[in-house]
């Protein structure tokens, strides 16, 4: 593995799970949000080199620089349905400790729009794309699906090995008004 690799993702797209899976490979290191740290982001090329052989740098979309999107590195972009990721993100802000909850429609639509715009920017520079929905197929996640693991190992130039995680896929908890939020939305909704 002589190339340098970046995993780029938005918040609430499964990045901790993907980094954990990559780090489970004997030849890889992928610390979650490694390049989001100010000292690493300022000189991200050096921080990536500091990881050593098998190092894969992870950075959240909010910390991505234009240089990261144009540099001679291989970019793995992790994406998720913008409606699902917006619901997951907004849940942090609006969900009470118990009982029903709602997300204001203007907040929801603004977040979906922001996520879609950010995803488009990242996907334009992607060398390899992983969808959260594919990564988590089959319910409770403990291991990366075999076909995705094989393609990802091939892309990274490492021997095929199971990619496992200790992270569990959260069961979605939707606000009481979630169907109204997505009605008429120009965005696709992946959750059942």
Give backbone dihedrals phi and psi of 53, rounded to 5 degrees, phi first: -60, 135
Chain segment 35-63, per-residue pLDDT in tens: 998 888 889 999 999 999 999 999 999 99
Residue whose pair of structure tokens reads 């939020």 in the numeric block: 181
How far is the C-alpha of 114 from the C-alpha of 185, rounded, in Å?
Answer: 14
Domains located in the chain, CATH noted: 5-182 (3.40.50.300)
Global pTM value: 0.85
pLDDT digits (tens, 9 = 90+) for 60-110: 999 999 999 999 999 999 999 998 899 888 888 877 766 677 888 888 899
Give buried/exposed letters for 73-93 (b at 16+ CB in 10 A, else e): bbbbbbbbbbbbbbbbbbbee
């Amino acid at each position: 593995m002589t190339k340098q690799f970046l995993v780029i993702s938005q918040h609430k797209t499964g990045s901790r799970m993907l980094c954990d899976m990559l780090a489970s490979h004997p030849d890889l290191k992928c610390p979650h949000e490694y390049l989001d740290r100010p000292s690493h982001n300022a000189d991200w090329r050096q921080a990536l080199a500091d990881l050593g052989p098998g190092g894969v740098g992870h950075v959240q979309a909010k910390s991505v620089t234009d240089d990261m999107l144009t540099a001679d590195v291989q970019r793995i972009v992790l994406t998720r349905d913008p409606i699902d990721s917006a619901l997951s993100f907004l849940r942090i802000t609006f969900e009470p400790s118990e009982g029903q909850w709602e997300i204001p429609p203007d907040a929801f639509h603004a977040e979906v729009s922001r996520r879609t715009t950010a995803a488009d920017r990242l996907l334009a520079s992607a060398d390899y794309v992983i969808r959260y929905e594919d990564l988590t197929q089959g319910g409770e996640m403990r291991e990366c699906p075999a076909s995705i693991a094989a393609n990802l190992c091939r892309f990274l130039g490492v021997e095929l090995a199971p990619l496992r995680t200790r992270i569990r896929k959260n069961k979605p908890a939707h606000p009481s008004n979630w169907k109204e939020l997505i009605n008429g939305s120009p965005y696709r909704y992946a959750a059942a």
